[in-house]
Amino acid sequence: MAAESTLSSQSYQNIDSYVALDDLADLLRETVQRLQPSAHEISEAWSDAQVTMQQLRVMTILYHEGPTRVSDLARRLGVSTPTITGILDRLVKQRITYRMNDARDRRVVLNNLTHDGRDLVERLMPAQGDSAVLALARLSQDERYALKEALTSLLRALPRQHRPA
């Protein structure tokens, strides 16, 4: 709000150097929209996936955090450990996740995504995928730096939100 009042009170010598907030917001919305798949692509991915929303939540945690204990998954999702064990059993049967021993403590069993599991998360939740990376690779080093600075500033201006997986 302070920025808007400062902007409106200034006289602009060169109108081309002024960027309207609405124009920036429109560009940001269009960018986010282009990074997302079409409704058809989402529908196609879900029809092939054969996973539930709760399974996807588990997969998303594993995608972001890597090997994770059953108890940690249960706590994050607010469900019992037997519930998570059942979800993981089904994901293991589908070869989406696998169990492994913790190298630091062999008594601990960790759960992780298989390569197919990672691919599935990226198809179902495309913001996790490579479309942004591929687009960013087309930018020059200077453009990437400028974008990094602008996005960092934008993130500082936005309130933090707790988003459970």
Question: pLDDT over 90 for what percent of the chain?
Answer: 42
- pLDDT reported for residue 67: 96
Residue 23 lies in a domain: no
The DSSP line for the chain is: -HHHHHHHHSPPS-GGG---HHHHHHHHHHHHHHHSPPHHHHHHHHHHH---HHHHHHHHHHHHH-SEEHHHHHHHHTS-HHHHHHHHHHHHHTTSEEEEE-SS-TT-EEEEE-HHHHHHHHHHSGGGSSHHHHHHHTS-HHHHHHHHHHHHHHHHHSPP-----
| 116 band by pLDDT with thresholds 50, 70 and 90 | very high
Query: Does any domain span residue 110?
Result: yes
Q: Is residue 140 part of a domain?
A: no
122-150 pLDDT per residue, tens: 877 766 556 777 788 888 999 989 989 99
Q: How many domains is the chain partitioned into structurally?
A: 1
Q: What is the pLDDT of residue 122?
A: 82
What CATH number has the domain bearing residue 98? 1.10.10.10
Q: How confident is the model at residue 54 (pLDDT cuts 50, 70, 90)?
A: very high
